[in-house]
Amino acid sequence: MRKVDSMDEVFAAMQKVKSHASAYCTNFFQVPKKLQSRIEQGDLFLEESPGAAFFFSADHDFWRIHFCAAGPDVLKRQFNSLPALKTEPLVIDILEQENQTEGILTVIKSIGFRPYARLCRLTRNGSAQPAPNSSGESQAVCAAPEDVPNIFELIDSSFDRYAEQIPKLSDIELAVKNRHILIVKHDQTVAGLLYFETQGTASTIRYWLVAQKFRALNYGSMLMRSYLAAHGAIKRFTLWVMADNAAALQKYQHYGYTSDKLTDHVLVNEIIRHETSH
């Protein structure tokens, strides 16, 4: 495993696999800007083998692993030969359409990964944005640099680190700089937040939450309405949510989000299996 120093290394490794592929398969669908950030932070590593390339992204105290392979058989053979499979905590995401025959997912399970969580993607078109709430003293505003530690603490304590990709402090700092985090405060405390990413005519909600003790004050509604009202030019909204979180699904549906039938299967290897079974 070696550290990746440039985007060119990533493209070269992928092209090498593609050029001899009979049934190319991958779970490596990274946004270039995010990928470049990981490379600059020294968080992306690569291991190449005949017919396959594996990318390891450092995430807290474990690795997220991505692959590209010449075919499912090659993927299984080369994955089984990876030393990291037996020595490092690994998390892998496999995207599949609802009711799709388990292809790559079956391969990943046969290697020794076990299902950990499922997320479903919800979408919303850009029509009929609700007006933001105007009553009450609290307002949804863009987060400031001094809010970063509180935002990180709130997200880190509210979401699953394996399934929901907790951002690093540097990610939150950049999002605040880009005005991509709305917050609402209660007595100078960050009571709730909505963290999003907008590019062109598309916008994705990454995290939307209100701290437990403030959940009866309609702060969640205030944040969502402010977000949607400020994005009148957006044509497509998306987000990922845990498939078994009925309360969150109901809230998103209330604001016009519906499933587009794409599922993210999150699986973990034996080392994390033992850790989470305690």
d(CA 114, CA 96): 16
Task: Note whether 228 and 136 are same-domain residues.
Answer: yes
Q: What is the mean pLDDT of residues 95-117?
A: 89
> What predicted TM-score, i.e. pTM, was given to this entire model?
0.90
Q: What is the mean pLDDT of residues 87-113?
A: 90
**How much of the chain is in helix, strand and coil states, percent to nearest 5?**
35, 35, 35
| Residue 244 within a domain | no
> Which of 28-37, 160-169, 263-272 has the least mean pLDDT?
28-37
> Which of 40-49, 132-141, 265-274 has the least mean pLDDT?
132-141
Q: What percent of the chain has pLDDT over 90?
A: 82
First and final CA of the chain: distance in angstroms? 30
Task: Note whether 78 and 143 are same-domain residues.
Answer: no
Domain count, the chain: 2
pLDDT-derived band at 251, boundaries 50, 70, 90: very high
Q: Which domain holds residue 211?
A: 127-234
Answer whether residue 254 shows pLDDT above 60: yes
Answer whether residue 277 shows pLDDT above 60: no
| Residue 144 within a domain | yes
Pairing of strands 90-97, 62-69: parallel
| Residue 266 within a domain | no
pLDDT at position 29 is: 87
Backbone torsion region of residue 175, taken as left when φ is above 0, otherwise alpha when ψ lies between -120 and 50, otherwise beta: alpha
Average pLDDT, the chain: 91
Task: Note whether 131 and 229 are same-domain residues.
Answer: yes
Answer whether residue 16 shows pLDDT above 80: yes
| Residue 119 within a domain | no
The pLDDT tens digits of the residues spanning 176-217 come to: 999 999 999 998 899 999 999 999 999 999 999 999 999 989
| Residue 14 within a domain | yes
| Residue 197 within a domain | yes
pLDDT-derived band at 37, boundaries 50, 70, 90: confident
Answer whether residue 278 shows pLDDT above 50: no
pLDDT at position 103 is: 87
| Residue 277 within a domain | no
Q: What is the mean pLDDT of residues 260-276?
A: 87
Task: Note whether 132 and 229 are same-domain residues.
Answer: yes
The domain that holds 136 is classified in CATH as: 3.40.630.30
Task: Note whether 142 and 44 are same-domain residues.
Answer: no
d(CA 24, CA 68): 7
102, 249, 270 from 166: Cα distances, Å: 27, 20, 21
43: number of Cβ within 10 Å: 18
Q: What is the mean pLDDT of residues 222-230?
A: 93
pLDDT-derived band at 132, boundaries 50, 70, 90: low
Q: What is the mean pLDDT of residues 55-72?
A: 95
